[in-house]
Amino acid sequence: MVIVAASVETLDPAFLNAFRNGTLTREQAEAAFPHDRAASIFFLLQLSAAIAPETSTPAHGPHTPSGSVPPYAKPAAKRRRKKRGAQPGHPGKSRPIPAIIDAQQSHQLSSCPCCNGPLVQTGRRRVRLVEDIPENLKSQVTEHTLHRDWCPQCQKQVEPKVPDALPQCTLGNRTVALTAWLHYGVGTTTSQIVDVFNHHLKLAISAGGLTEMWHRLATVLLPWYEQIHGQCLDAGVLHGDETGWRVEGRTSWLWCFCTPDATYYMIGNSRGHPALERFFVDAFRGVLVTDFWKAYDAIGRTKQKCWPHLLRELKEIDEGSQGTGDWPEFAKRLRRIYGEAIRLESRRDTLPANTFRQRLAMLHKRMCDLSAAEWANLHTRRLAKRLRAYGADWLTFVEFEGVPSSNNLAERTIRPAVMMRKASYGNQSTAGAETRAVLMSIYRTLKQRGLDPLEVTVEALRTYIRTATLPPLPEKAKSTG
């Protein structure tokens, strides 16, 4: 007997929807499932064909890292509506004209390059500026003669300190600071730095020597790291995020806590409360903006959950095959609440205080009603449960000025660390992870504050060598506009 596969449309649509949404009742199952063996096999083949598009590829939710999704499973990028670059009418940008001319050259033809005939000089000329790296770019070796003199009062010999290099170090502060910034600030690998210095700058260094110097630099700059920690704890609005990391081949976690002008990275083997207790050494009184990771729930009193995370999940369900039943109504109402919250937030300073509070209370009531309603769709019930779990954390951005509705700042700040992870595969030791957290935090913070990481670090090292005290981490650079 040959069984010809029939279309999946022969299955009862109501049965299929209940099967997909997890709401199948015993009565529906008994009514749909045949008792004859051959018919049962045919029924199962039909059911398998009906759900195959949903189970043929792994499910990737909105919280799945992009690197964990295989390239063939990623959707094609949408075509841009506008061309890349500046749009018509925008002022153009070019490199600034150098303020100092270091050398001059004059060029004049002796004959026509086309016919090789004689030329008549016209006296006309034009100037072209070319800025380049000199050919003899190399390191400079300085011999420091230290005079040892006798102190009768202290009864010992004393000598001056060399402010351009750390004690017992043959590499100058500028080289140490530059290589550390290239590695921890830009993400250049250690082998690439070694190649550039050995072959192009003619400065012989080794990977082991650089690593040792970076450890020493992190030890010296540790007070800056602690200063950043304190500034993050004192922030009115703090963003948090975390991502996987590898230390000695074992799974660890990199945490990122940031404000618009400070970033604190922390690497440890915990993704739960022990890691947060290590960071939140004091009670946090500001607003913590995060995604839906449960470990953040015990921190602070006021929070803001990331709306774009939720909206992306709505979009994925809309585009899939599980947005059936009462899902469209739920998604529509939730998007309307968010849209009205955005509009109310933009009018916070123009509306009368009583009117603003009344409208905010109405939004809270609509969120509460949406989460407490009886829903049939599996995803609707799941997201309604999430709305109930976080309650007022959804509309904090409407109530308080300066609180965003998204955790975009933390996601953008943690991204450079993710790019470095792809190049370095993590850290080979715990000491290396600690050095990375310290220097990566410092260089990211300096960039946020518009400061030159090389000059700031070198000057701080000179002060530290002379006085044995590290100066405070500089604040934002003063605007010259």
CA within 13 Å, CB half, 72:
3
Provide mean pLDDT across the span 60-71: 64
What's the number of CA atoms in the CB half-sphere (13 Å) around residue 409? 21
Q: 92-101, 310-319, 358-367: lowest mean pLDDT where?
A: 92-101
| Best CA proximity match to 241, nearest among 417, 420, 396 | 417
Q: Is the per-residue pLDDT at 80 higher than 90?
A: no
Give the DSSP H or E segment for 220. Answer: helix 207-220
Q: How many helices (H) and strands (E) does the chain have?
A: 16, 7
CA–CA gap between residue 25 and residue 30 (Å, rounded): 9
Residue 190 has, within 13 A of its CA and on its CB side, a CA count of 18
- Angle between helix 222-233 and 207-220 (nearest 10): 50
pLDDT at 60 over 70: no
Residue with tokens 């500089």: 474
pLDDT of 13 = 75
Query: Among candidates 286, 305, 258, which has minimal Cα distance to 409?
Result: 258
Q: Is the pLDDT score of 66 beyond 50?
A: yes
Measured distance CA(236)–CA(308) in Å, rounded? 22
Whether 63 has a pLDDT exceeding 60, the answer reads: no
Please give the Cα distance from 213 to 210 (Å, whole number).
5
Q: Is the pLDDT of residue 9 over 80?
A: no
Burial of 72 (0-12, 13-18, 19+ CB in 10 A): exposed
Residues forming a β-bridge with 253? 244, 268
- What is the model's pLDDT at position 32? 77
> Given a cut of 70, is residue 279 above it in pLDDT?
yes
Token couple for 467: 């006085």
How far apart (Å, rounded) are the C-alpha atoms in residues 203 and 182?
16
Q: What is the mean pLDDT of residues 172-189?
A: 94
Averaged pLDDT of the chain: 87
The pLDDT, as a whole number, for residue 90 is: 81
Whether 303 has a pLDDT exceeding 70, the answer reads yes
Per-residue confidence at 262, pLDDT binned at 50, 70, 90? very high
Q: What is the pLDDT of residue 2?
A: 38
Alpha-carbon distance 209 to 110, whole Å? 55
Q: Are 471 and 460 in contact (CB under 8 A)?
A: yes
Neighbouring-strand partners of residue 241: 256
- The C-alpha angle with vertex 445 and arms to 430 and 302, in degrees rounded to 5, equals 90
- What's the token pair of residue 85? 């670059």
Is the CB of residue 418 less than 8 Å from the CB of residue 246? Answer: no
Lowest mean pLDDT among 49-63, 157-171, 283-297: 49-63
pLDDT at 173 > cutoff 70: yes
Q: How many residues in the chain?
A: 481
- Output the pLDDT for position 57: 46
pLDDT: is 177 or 58 the higher one? 177
Residue 470 pLDDT exceeds 80 = yes
Q: What is the dihedral of CA 135, 136, 140, 141, to 10 degrees?
A: 150
Per DSSP, which regions of 260-318 are E strands?
A: 262-268, 287-290, 302-305
